[in-house]
């Protein structure tokens, strides 16, 4: 009973904050609601017994991705009122597309059926969670059956990184950079010169 209650609390907050993300007037508030939504989704994962995923969701999405979102939204001076000017104009067509998708979804849901093999092929992947921990089971699956996908996902991230650097890194001329190795390698002999200055003579 308590579990159901907690589920509904988490689910309700997730949905409500999702609505707030798109309806909040202040973009910073929107991002904060997004974070709340992530957080409650992590709670839902916990309820489903996926503790590792829950924690990773918080670490990655809340702890890193959303921080950068917040950064960008706070620093860019975007006039969101202006951005939304055309909103009403496109609302009817957007609503129409949404409605069509909803009807389709309802149709799909109404006539949903599972392939006879489906339960079996899903079940074979899940080990007994009473014996192995969640993290262990995920790791085993990820590094054996899904090894190939794991590697390709790594490559996708590598390309994303190359792309970001390529498109944004500019080498500006005339920037003075600190060269720590050279600084540390300096000795008294190479940097200081002691001279006897004759009186009234100067150097």
Partner 1 sequence: MANLWTGYIWPTAITVAEIIAIIVPVLVGVAYLTYAERKVIGAMQLRKGPNTVGPFGLFQPLADGAKLFFKETIFPTNANRGVFLVAPALTFFLAMVAWAVVPFDEGWVLANINVGVLYLFAISSLGVYGIIMAGWASNSKYGFLGALRSAAQMVSYEVSIGFVMIAVLLCVGSLNLTDIVHAQAKGVWFIIPHLPLFIIFFISGLAETNRSPFDLPEGESELVAGYMVEYSSMIFAMFFLGEYANMILMSATITTLFLGGWLSPLPFAPFTWVPGIIWFVLKVCVILFGFLWVRATMPRYRYDQLMRLGWKVFLPFSLVWLVLTAGVLEFGGLLPK
Partner 2 sequence: MELPNFSLALPEIFIALSGMALLILGVFRKQEATQGIAILAVITMVLAALLVPAASGNRAETFGGMFVVDGFAVFSKLLVLVASSLCLVMSVNWLVKEKLERFEYPVLVLFATLGMLLMISANNLIALYLGLELQSLSLYVLAAYQRDSGRATEAGLKYFVLGSLASGMLLYGSSLIYGFAGTTGFDALAKALEHGAPVGVIVGLVFVLAGLAFKISAVPFHMWTPDVYEGAPTPVTAFFAVAPKIAAFSLLVRVMVGPFGAVTAQWQQVVVFVSVASMLVGSFGAIAQSNIKRLMAYSSIGHVGYGLIGLAVGDQVGIRGLLIYLAIYLFMNVGTFAIILAMRQKGRLLEGIDDLAGLSKTHPMMAVAMAIFMFSMAGVPPMAGFWGKFYVFMAAVDKGFITLAILGVLTSVVSAYYYLRIIKVMYFDEPKEALDRGVSGSLTFIMGVNALLIVVFTFIPSPLVSSAGAAAASLFGG
Binding residues (CB under 8 A) for partner 2: these are 104, 107-109, 111-122, 144-149, 152-153, 155-156, 158-160, 162-163, 165-167
**Contact partner, 72, from partner 1, partner 2, none, Cβ < 5-8 Å per class:** none
83 binds partner 1 (CB under 8 A): no
Q: Of 5-13, 90-98, 129-137, 193-201, which segment contacts partner 1 by CB under 8 A?
A: 129-137
80 binds partner 1 (CB under 8 A): no
Cβ proximity to partner 1, 93 vs 169, nearer residue:
169
CB 142 within 8 A of CB 150: yes
Cβ proximity to partner 1, 118 vs 158, nearer residue:
158
Cβ proximity to partner 2, 60 vs 156, nearer residue:
156
**Cβ of residue 18: shortest distance to partner 1, in angstroms?**
19
**Cβ of residue 135: shortest distance to partner 1, in angstroms?**
6
State how far the Cα of 201 lies from the Cα of 199, in Å rounded to an integer.
Answer: 5
Cβ proximity to partner 2, 111 vs 187, nearer residue:
111
**Contact partner, 96, from partner 1, partner 2, none, Cβ < 5-8 Å per class:** none
Q: Taking Cα atoms as reference points, which of 51, 24, 46, 50 lies closest to residue 35?
A: 24
Place of tokens 């300096």: 186
35 binds partner 1 (CB under 8 A): yes
3-state secondary structure the chain: CHHHHHHHHHHHHHHHHHHHHHHCCCHHHHHHHHHHHHHHHHHHHHHCCCHHHHHHHHHHHHHHHHHHHHHHHHHCCCCHHHHCCCHHHHHHHHHHHHHHHHHHHHHHHHCCCCCCCHHHHHHCCCCCCCCCCHHHHHHHHHHCCCHHHHHHHHHHHHHHHHHHHHHHCCCCCCCCCCCHHHHHHCCHHHHCCCCCCCCCCCC
74 binds partner 1 (CB under 8 A): yes
Which residues of this protein are in contact with partner 1, per CB under 8 A?
2, 26, 28-29, 32, 35, 51-52, 55-56, 58-59, 62-64, 67-68, 70-71, 74-75, 133-135, 178, 180
């Amino acid at each position: 009973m308590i579990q159901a209650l907690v589920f509904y609390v988490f689910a309700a907050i997730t949905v409500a904050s999702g609505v707030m993300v798109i309806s909040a007037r202040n973009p910073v508030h929107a991002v904060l609601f997004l974070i709340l939504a992530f957080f409650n989704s992590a709670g839902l994962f916990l309820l489903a017994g996926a503790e590792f995923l829950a924690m990773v969701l918080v670490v990655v999405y809340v702890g890193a991705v959303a921080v950068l979102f917040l950064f960008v939204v706070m620093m860019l001076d975007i006039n969101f009122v202006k951005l939304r000017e055309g909103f009403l104009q496109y609302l009817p067509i957007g609503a129409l597309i949404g409605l069509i998708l909803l009807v389709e979804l309802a149709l799909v849901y109404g006539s949903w059926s599972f392939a006879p093999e489906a339960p079996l092929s899903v079940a074979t992947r899940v080990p007994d969670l009473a014996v192995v921990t969640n993290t262990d089971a995920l790791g085993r699956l990820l590094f054996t059956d899904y090894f190939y996908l794991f590697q390709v996902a790594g490559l996708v991230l590598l390309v994303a990184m190359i792309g970001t650097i390529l498109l944004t890194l500019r080498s500006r001329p005339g920037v003075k950079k600190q060269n720590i190795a050279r600084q540390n390698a300096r000795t008294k002999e190479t940097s200081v010169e002691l001279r006897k200055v004759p009186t009234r003579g100067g150097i």
